[in-house]
Copies of this chain bind each other. A is one copy, B any other.
Amino acid sequence: MPDGLFDGVLGRGRVGAAVGDRAWLQAMLDAEAALARARQLPAGQVEAIAAACRAELYDVAALGAQAAASGNPVVPLVEALRREVGGAAGGEVHRGATSQDILDTAAMLVARRALEPLGDDLRAAAEAAARLAREHRSTPMAGRTLLQQAVPTTFGLKAAGWMTALDAAGARLAAVPLAAQLGGPAGTLAPLGPAVLVRFSAGLGLAEPVLPWHTDRTRVADLAGGLGAACGTAAKAAGDVVLLSQTEVGEVREGLPGGSSSMPHKRNPVAAVSALGCARQAPGLVATLLASMEQEHERAAGAWHAEWRPLTSLLLATGSAAAWLRACLEGLEVDPARMRANLELPGGVPPAQRTPGATASAEALVDRALDRRARQPEADEADAQPS
């Protein structure tokens, strides 16, 4: 995916490489290598298997094609890996595991690796919003409801709203539990036993589940929910930028607006528009993943397969939305004079409400949000809970 025709727009940033076919393949191989270690095979066998667990040794397209016979790509991968390792060690590859153990564990590794740049970009976007909040704490602008001017606010408060939402989205994603999967053919952990699960999880740095979760997709749903909320948050901020960038409003401008060969006067807010193009793919993908939670018995007949692409697409869309929003906010140019001029438009905020103290309350809220952030930089939940 990361090198495709649409990836400049829809696969921005490092997340593309993290969710591409090669990344998935490496994650599956990482799971196989971790299994060999967790099973405490002889050191020579572990080394032989680990040495063969490098994605560049395998042909993605061939594995993909061979997957048709069994219905998943792990079966041909295990065959190829066994051949590559050879000998007695080759015979030990994958033993005790089932395809879904490897693929689900790989999915969690892919998610973790995608969440790194995604988290960085969300944090940087929040940081840019925080800077805007500080700098424009007292910059008056029209508060707008139903897209009509209402009463004054400050641009700092608008940016502070983006900031707290982005912080919450990042904290939510950071808290999503990513667990290893190991259960064997019917999820009973036979013949491996819990001790192998403990070592397997620890070796990969993933959470250790109480039970195999082949058909308990709570973790996938939780991840999907967090990604969907992050996209919604990015879309809210990007949408505001697009609206503020309108020719008739002109209160902000992207640092690197997109031009147009036929219309040289155009200054399109490309970063915000692209962020919206990415983020709006999320709700449908989340719905697919939630609908896929209904998985039969010990392993599902279709609902599991229906997760693979939506999960990949959702990680890519969210990561790309975050990267675009970061670019948008880090380069955002603000025009306080235009904000003030718009405040004085006929039909807008009534003169009686454009007093010097009109925005004092907004300014106090900016301080409140920045203070709270400074005190709880890693807070999962900034709301003060009822006692």
Contacts and interface: CB of A to CB of B under 8 A. Distances in A.
25 contacts: A4-B60, A143-B297, A144-B299, A145-B268, A145-B297, A149-B248, A150-B298, A188-B365, A208-B384, A212-B365, A229-B293, A236-B293, A243-B297, A247-B345, A248-B342, A248-B345, A248-B348, A276-B302, A276-B303, A277-B304, A277-B306, A281-B288, A283-B284, A283-B288, A284-B287
B277 A228 contact: no
A210 B383 contact: yes
Nearest to A58: B5
A226 interface: yes
Interface string A216-228: 1110011011101
Given A151-B185, A290-B283, A211 B161 contact: yes
B268 A146 contact: yes
A269 interface: yes
A203 B359 CA distance: 27
Contacts of A138: none
Interface in A222-277: 222, 224-226, 228-229, 231-233, 235-236, 238-240, 242-243, 245-250, 256, 258-263, 265-270, 272-277
A297 B229 CA distance: 18
A8 B77 CA distance: 13
A193 B1 CA distance: 39
Given A25-B5, A266-B148, A216 B172 contact: no
Q: Which of A64, A152, A212, A364 has the most chain B CB within a 10 Å cutoff?
A: A64
A139 interface: no
Given A287-B287, A301-B273, A228 B236 contact: no
A347 to B, nearest CB: 6
Interface in A116-165: 142-153, 157-158, 160-161, 164-165
Given A211-B369, A242-B301, A372-B210, A361 B193 contact: yes
Nearest to A382: B210
Contact of A228 (B225, B302, B342): B225
Nearest to A165: B216
Interface in A26-76: 60-61, 63-73, 75
Contacts of A10: 305, 308-309
A229 B290 contact: yes
A362 interface: yes
A310 to B, nearest CB: 6
A71 B296 contact: no
A81 interface: no
B64 A297 contact: no
A281 B306 contact: yes
A17 interface: no
Contact of A290 (B7, B232, B313): B232
A216 to B, nearest CB: 4
B301 A269 contact: yes
Q: Top 9 nearest A-B pairs by Cβ distance? A: A277-B305, A232-B293, A276-B302, A143-B186, A225-B225, A145-B299, A190-B361, A8-B67, A284-B284
A350 interface: yes
B5 A64 contact: yes
A5 B60 contact: yes
Given A146-B301, A281-B310, A381-B177, A248 B249 contact: yes
A12 interface: yes
A280 interface: yes
Contact of A276 (B207, B248, B306): B306
A333 interface: no
